């Protein structure tokens, strides 16, 4: 096993150092220590960021949450709600893979009010 020496690094380079140490341990065959594994952070997004990712109305998102069709929000404080970014991205990926059937198109010529201009009236 090769002899590797590590020197102290500034705090801003800690994550880079952790990656290098992990790589060295994989190369040398040593098992990584538990403190060397990356901490698991739950990345959250606020409503504005969610609206950029999912262009649906607030009422649509709320209804889908109530029916269990959309990731649920959770409160960080009494006035701040967030969504888990990983859950939202997973939901978007699932929507891309299985298409949703569209609703039946409405024939506007059958409207009783506001008739379509330039069309023949329907026989009664």
Residue-wise pLDDT tens digits, 47-80: 999 999 999 999 999 999 999 999 999 999 999 9
In a domain, 120, yes or no: no
How many domains are there within the chain? 2
Q: 70 and 34, same structural domain? A: no
Domain of 79 in residue numbering reads as 44-97
Q: 52 and 17, same structural domain? A: no
In a domain, 72, yes or no: yes
- Strand, helix or coil at 77? strand
Q: 72 and 48, same structural domain? A: yes
Q: 48 and 31, same structural domain? A: no
**What is the model's pTM?**
0.53
Q: 58 and 30, same structural domain? A: no
Q: 67 and 28, same structural domain? A: no
Straight-line distance from the first to the last Cα atom of the chain, in angstroms, rounded to the nearest whole number? 92
Torsion of CA 26, 30, 31, 35, to 10 degrees: -90
In a domain, 122, yes or no: no
Q: 69 and 35, same structural domain? A: no
Q: 34 and 66, same structural domain? A: no
- pLDDT tops 80 at residue 29: no
Q: 34 and 12, same structural domain? A: yes
Q: pLDDT > 90: what percent of the chain?
A: 42
Bridge-partner residues for 82, per DSSP? 74
Q: 61 and 17, same structural domain? A: no
């Amino acid at each position: 096993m090769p002899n590797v020496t590590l020197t102290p690094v500034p705090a801003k380079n800690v994550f880079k150092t952790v990656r290098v140490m992990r790589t060295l341990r994989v190369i040398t065959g040593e098992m990584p220590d538990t403190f060397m594994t990356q901490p698991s952070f739950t990345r959250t997004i606020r409503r504005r960021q969610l609206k950029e990712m999912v262009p649906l109305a607030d009422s649509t998102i709320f209804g889908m949450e109530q029916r269990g069709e959309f990731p649920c929000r959770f409160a960080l404080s009494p006035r701040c709600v967030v969504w888990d970014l990983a859950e939202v991205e997973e939901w978007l990926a699932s929507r891309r893979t299985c298409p949703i059937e569209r609703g039946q198109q409405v024939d506007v010529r059958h409207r009783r009010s506001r008739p379509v201009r330039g069309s023949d009236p329907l026989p009664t």
